[in-house]
Amino acid sequence: MTLAMPKPKDDVLAKRDTIVAELRAMVPGEGVLSAEDALKPFETDGLTAYRQIPLVVVLPETVEQVSRVLRYCHANGIRVVPRGSGTSLSGGALPLADAVLLVMSKFNKVLDIDFENRAAVVQPGVTNLGVSNAVVHRGFYYAPDPSSQIACSIGGNVAENAGGVHCLKYGLTANNVLGVEMVLVTGEVIRLGGKHLDSEAYDLLGLMTGSEGLLGVVTEVTVRILRTPETARAILVGFPSSEDAGQCVADIIAAGIIPGGMEMMDKPAINAAEDFVQVGYPRDAEALLIVEIDGPRREVELLLEQVEEMARANKAETIRVSKDDAERQAFWAGRKAAFPAVGRITPDYYCMDGTIPRKEMPKVLARIRELSDTYGLRVANVFHAGDGNLHPLILYDANEPHQLEKAEAFGADILRLCVEVGGVLTGEHGVGVEKRDLMPTMFSKDDLAQQERVKCAFDPDHLLNPGKMFPELHRCAELGRMHVHKGQLPFPDLPRF
């Protein structure tokens, strides 16, 4: 695996023992790990193709400790890679040989639950599901639900702007976070937002969400909690073609219905899931659609009838409507287990995450099938159909020579295709190291330079998580230079008054 990461700083590597000792003074007890066997579990995240033992692992317990560690690293030019639960699928928490890995897992407390203001204040190491679990006794929940929700942390969700199956109706993390407390690379502690709405001056909270650990370290998160809908029911539909399924999705949206979830799977994914969980998915369908309608009971009944009619109008071969919650959850069981299910039929798989305008789906699927033949690798497709977010799973065997390289090349072709039809490289998994070098397919040099300048406002020395998101690291002084064209006011014929 070749991936160019920033060259380790020799001076930092040389004084590792001193750095470890000084960090121990800041984070006492078990908070600093330096023995090789202790570092080993942290060498990778959810993108396991890439591995690197970090310089040292630090597990702070207080905001003061985070602040001191960052101030120290900043003063000494030491790089820092923040990490939550390490479930990133794009290598966002991949360590660097010369960087402190700052692991936030000890920040695991729910600090305040405020039902009257529909907000919860939690530490960043609390898991996504942990937030919902903390409020479920009063009938509330936290809406974003990435598949890794039992493990992934809220801090990581903020860093990656995590999504899930409920995004179309309830938004991504960015739409459900009200505020954060964070530590800048200088060690300064700032607050953005709170239980009130909107930010003062620039929307730094909006910038932080999805910044992949390059701008600061989040130490507290205030999220919106919502009352659980009165009811939720799902309809499971098998179609003879993905075009029919895609048309059904378009018809649902055009009718003004925004389902709580709307997921599609293709035949290989359907069969892998059915082999794994046996919930009665139609094995001969070319495309399976699961539509969940949630809300007030009366509304859900009416909308389900409409969706069922639309499914019939689009040549549905099998239709099942959930009669109770157990059946609804059975419909979802296969979809939720799709990744591990595919994992059972192949030694390795590579999960992609592009988003496309929905109308382009038949074209993109056809092209993926062609690429699959060209590369000689199978693909199973799972989508968030409502918002056009595709998760093609490329099946390969890392023990076979060149298969990983082939899978990566295939994946890159899929992402280029997504951009070509008007879509984007990543819908919810983040850029990380995985899609870093593809950024120029979507952004021009000037586009990227302006993003890098945001980085310069927060971290001008590139100490926080370098090597992620941007294909090249430019010095901030270089980015700041103005190319000035002095002269006459242009467009002399512009109307002016």
Partner 1 sequence: MAVLRPDSAEAVLEVVAWAAGEEKPLEVYGHRSKRGIGRPLQAEYELDLSRLRGVTLYEPEELVLTAKAGTPISEIESLLVAHNQMLAFEPMDFGPLNGAARGRGTIGGMLGANSSGPRRIKAGAARDHILGVHAVSGRGESFKSGGRVVKNVTGYDLSKALAGSWGTLAVVTEMTVKVLPRPKSETTLVVADLADPQAVSVLCQAMGTPWEVSGAAHLPEDVVGEVPDAAFASGSKAATLIRLEGIAQSVDYRAEKLTAQIGRVGQVTVLERDASVAVWRAVRDGEPFGATGDPVWRVSVVPNTGPAVIAAMNERRAFRHYYDWSGGLLWIDVEDGGADGLARELRVAIAAAGGGHATLMRGSPALRAAVAPFEPQPEALAALSQRLKAQFDPNNILNPGRLLAGA
Helix (H) or strand (E) holding 21: helix 16-26
User: For residues 263-302, which are near partner 1 according to CB under 8 A?
Assistant: 295-299, 302
Does residue 440 belong to the site contacting partner 1 (CB under 8 A)?
A: no
Q: Identify whether the C-beta of residue 223 lies closer than 8 Å to the C-beta of residue 141.
A: no
Query: Which residues fall within 8 angstroms of residue 4, CB to CB, at 6 or more apart?
Result: none
Does residue 210 belong to the site contacting partner 1 (CB under 8 A)?
A: yes
Find the binder of partner 1 among 36, 37, 116, 478 (CB under 8 A): 116
Q: Which is nearer to partner 1, 402 or 486 (CB)?
A: 486
290-328 burial: b if 16+ Cβ within 10 Å, else e = bbbbbbeeeebeebbeebbebbeebebeeebbbeeeebb
Say how far apart CA 263 and CA 290 lie, in whole Å.
5
Find the binder of partner 1 among 37, 399, 401, 491 (CB under 8 A): 491
Does residue 35 belong to the site contacting partner 1 (CB under 8 A)?
A: no
Say how far apart CA 167 and CA 148 lie, in whole Å.
15
Does residue 258 belong to the site contacting partner 1 (CB under 8 A)?
A: yes
Find the binder of partner 1 among 448, 462, 465, 468 (CB under 8 A): 448
Phi, psi (rounded to 5 degrees) for 310:
-65, -35
Find the binder of partner 1 among 22, 203, 308, 327 (CB under 8 A): 203
55-92 burial: b if 16+ Cβ within 10 Å, else e = bbbbbbbebebbbbbbbbbbeeebbbbbbbbbbbbbbb
Q: Which is nearer to partner 1, 111 or 202 (CB)?
A: 202
Reduced to 3 states (helix: H, G, I; strand: E, B; else coil), residue 84 is coil
Phi, psi (rounded to 5 degrees) for 320:
-130, 130
Interhelix angle 325-336/267-277, rounded to 10 degrees, is 120
Find the binder of partner 1 among 1, 35, 201, 477 (CB under 8 A): 201
| Minimal distance, residue 255 CB to partner 1, in Å | 8
Q: Given the rule CB under 8 A, which of 18-26, 120-128, 159-167, 399-407 is the region that contacts partner 1?
A: 159-167
Query: Across-strand partners of 348?
Result: 396
| Minimal distance, residue 131 CB to partner 1, in Å | 16
Find the binder of partner 1 among 404, 439, 461, 474 (CB under 8 A): 439
| Minimal distance, residue 399 CB to partner 1, in Å | 32
Find the binder of partner 1 among 41, 139, 340, 347 (CB under 8 A): 139
| Minimal distance, residue 431 CB to partner 1, in Å | 6
Q: Identify whether the C-beta of residue 337 lies closer than 8 Å to the C-beta of residue 400.
A: no
Q: Identify whether the C-beta of residue 279 lies closer than 8 Å to the C-beta of residue 330.
A: yes
Say how far apart CA 404 and CA 313 lie, in whole Å.
42
Structure-token pair, residue 203: 């929307």
Q: Which is nearer to partner 1, 59 or 223 (CB)?
A: 223
Find the binder of partner 1 among 117, 278, 376, 405 (CB under 8 A): 117
| Minimal distance, residue 464 CB to partner 1, in Å | 13
Q: Which is nearer to partner 1, 37 or 497 (CB)?
A: 497
User: For residues 388-417, which are near partner 1 according to CB under 8 A?
Assistant: 388-389
Q: Would you mind telling me the total number of residues written for the chain in this entry?
A: 497
User: For residues 460-479, which are near partner 1 according to CB under 8 A?
Assistant: 469
Say how far apart CA 304 and CA 292 lie, in whole Å.
9
User: For residues 228-257, which are near partner 1 according to CB under 8 A?
Assistant: 228-230, 250, 253-254, 256-257
| DSSP secondary structure string for all residues of 364-418 | HHHHHHHHHHHHT--EEEEEETTTTEEEEEEEE-TTSTTHHHHHHHHHHHHHHHH
Query: What's the Cα-to-Cα distance from 367 to each of 251, 405, 419, rounded to whole Å?
Result: 24, 20, 13
| Minimal distance, residue 55 CB to partner 1, in Å | 27
Query: Across-strand partners of 381?
Result: 392
Q: Given the rule CB under 8 A, which of 66-74, 96-104, 196-204, 324-332 is the region that contacts partner 1?
A: 196-204
Q: Which is nearer to partner 1, 323 or 496 (CB)?
A: 496
Q: Which is nearer to partner 1, 192 or 277 (CB)?
A: 192
Contact flags string 318-347 toward partner 1, x per CB under 8 A: ------------------------------
Does residue 211 belong to the site contacting partner 1 (CB under 8 A)?
A: yes
- DSSP class of residue 179 equals E
Q: Which is nearer to partner 1, 17 or 493 (CB)?
A: 493
The count of residues interacting with partner 1 (CB under 8 A) is 105
Find the binder of partner 1 among 358, 369, 416, 474 (CB under 8 A): 358
| DSSP secondary structure string for all residues of 27-57 | S-TT-EE-SHHHHGGGS--S-TT-----SEE
Helix (H) or strand (E) holding 288: strand 287-295
Find the binder of partner 1 among 156, 423, 466, 467 (CB under 8 A): 423
| Minimal distance, residue 175 CB to partner 1, in Å | 5
Q: Given the rule CB under 8 A, which of 8-16, 105-113, 395-403, 436-444 is the region that contacts partner 1?
A: 436-444
| Minimal distance, residue 441 CB to partner 1, in Å | 10
Find the binder of partner 1 among 137, 323, 402, 485 (CB under 8 A): 485
| Minimal distance, residue 74 CB to partner 1, in Å | 14
